[in-house]
Amino acid sequence: MSHTIPLTKESFESLQEELKRLIREERPKVIQDIAEARAHGDLSENAEYDAAKNRQGFIEGRIQEINGKLARAHVVDLSGLKPDKVVFGCTVTLYDTATEEEVTYKIVGEDEADIKQSKISCTSPVGKALIGHKLDDSVKVIVPSGKKEYEIIDIKYD
């Protein structure tokens, strides 16, 4: 499991910020909560203690998870590149030939994908189909609802 994880710069920085917050704020707070709950006596029936220990387990697990991602991260930097083809980290605007509507997506890693924010994974059917294509290309994609055809009308490297 030592493969690299492609991340956008913003995702990498977001993970770093979350890690700082967990270590500097959340971890000390939960340690204090555990100490306070211990002071209440019998731990076998102490719901506050159990809740704090569960929270501590979550925080420590998340710290390990983030450290692992950051250690394997490959931050994709698109600055200085000519935005002439769809690559990881770019924003692409498509024309859906069936609905005659435009849609815009940012191609991101699996952990960053969020369709509500128009971020699609580079491993999704649409993401995989778009990678490597150029402006004005027509791209056919097989999605769960059937076949889609898009024309690439804009590519931006943010």
Average pLDDT over every residue of 93-112: 93
What pLDDT is attached to residue 2? Answer: 61
What pLDDT is attached to residue 46? Answer: 78
What pLDDT is attached to residue 145? Answer: 86
> What global pTM score does this model have?
0.76
What pLDDT is attached to residue 95? Answer: 97
At 123, the pLDDT band (50, 70, 90 cuts) reads very high
What pLDDT is attached to residue 4? Answer: 87
Tens digit of each residue's pLDDT (9 = 90 or more) over 53-101: 999 999 999 999 999 999 999 998 887 777 789 999 999 999 999 999 9
What pLDDT is attached to residue 29? Answer: 97
Tell me, what amino acid is at 143?
V
Which domains occur in the chain, in start order?
Answer: 5-76 (1.10.287.180), 91-156 (3.10.50.30)
Average pLDDT over every residue of 115-135: 95
In this model, does residue 1 exceed pLDDT 60? no
CA distances from 68 to 19, 90, 113, 122, 123 (A): 11, 25, 19, 20, 20
Tens digit of each residue's pLDDT (9 = 90 or more) over 13-64: 999 999 999 999 999 999 999 998 888 777 777 788 889 999 999 999 999 9
